[in-house]
Amino acid sequence: MDEKQVEMLVTRIATLEKELRSKPAAPAVDEAAVRSKVISEFAHALLTDSVGTLKSMGAKPEQIEVIRAQMIADKLGDQAPPQMRFIAQQGPQMMQQTKTEEAIAALSRQVAELAKANSEGPKLSKFDSIIETEKSKYPNLAEALKADKEAIVGNLKAFGGSAEEFIAAQEAQWAKFGLAAKAAASAVSAETTDNQGQSTKTTPAPLASNLVGGSTPAQTPAAQPEKKTPVWNAETHKALVAELVQKTASKVVKA
């Protein structure tokens, strides 16, 4: 970097510092004013629609009943009925009960998530083990896994039964589309095409005896175009899934 570039850089830094110093500072937040505004808006909402405001804040019917009893008991004083005074005093107990219920609900969710995680792990391990050791028993499912394993594993996690039941159901489902047969045919077709490409076919020259005798050499029949077998991949897998869903939906509509 030469002296001119250094000078330009220093000038640019000085300009930026000047702009930063001249930039007006952000106004300080008046916390007291904000608090006063919030209280004022809440008071307005409470006076306009007390019950609706409490409901919008998540208050339960029994909590609203306690608040109502507190207001009436405060107005009547000693003349308030004993039952009303009793309800008005239930506020602290009700809040404690609400906290306990929320804690129990949170704990239940954690237990459910833990149980689900503990059940999914062994189920997935069992699924992988069966597919690996007994792949020949489930050829159609094995082909489906090659195309979209993520979707099938997702269905396994949502499945309520065992890994064995899921595998049997999946094999029966994909067998309807003949995935194993199509994959085998595709492999044979690819091998045949490869062999044909590697070998060069030549037509033998006519024998001298045929030429002398004037007979026409036997004509070699023209090769027939080979039928292409569809290759099983992610696109054909998704198409088959869509077809299965459409057929199931049509049956439901007809029923």
Please, which residues have CB within 8 angstroms of residue 62's CB and are 6 or more apart in sequence? 94
All structural domains of the chain with their residue ranges: 32-89, 92-192+230-255
Residue 207 parent element (H or E): none
What are the counts of helices (DSSP H) followed by strands (DSSP E) for the chain? 11, 0
SS (H, E, C) 104-124: HHHHHHHHHHHHHHHHHHHHH
Write out the chain's pLDDT in tens, 255 residues.
Answer: 567 777 777 788 888 887 777 777 667 777 888 888 888 898 888 888 988 988 998 888 888 888 889 889 888 988 888 888 888 888 888 888 888 888 888 888 888 777 666 666 787 888 888 888 887 888 888 888 888 888 888 888 888 788 889 999 988 988 888 877 877 777 666 666 666 656 555 555 444 344 344 444 445 555 555 555 556 666 776 777 777 767 765 654 455
Q: What is the pLDDT of residues 26-44, one digit of tens each?
A: 677 778 888 888 888 988 8
Give the pLDDT score at 128. 87
CB 84 within 8 A of CB 60: no
Give the pLDDT score at 58. 87
CB 203 within 8 A of CB 167: no
Q: What is the pLDDT of residues 172-215, one digit of tens each?
A: 988 888 877 877 777 666 666 666 656 555 555 444 344 344 44
Give the pLDDT score at 216. 46
Give the pLDDT score at 221. 53
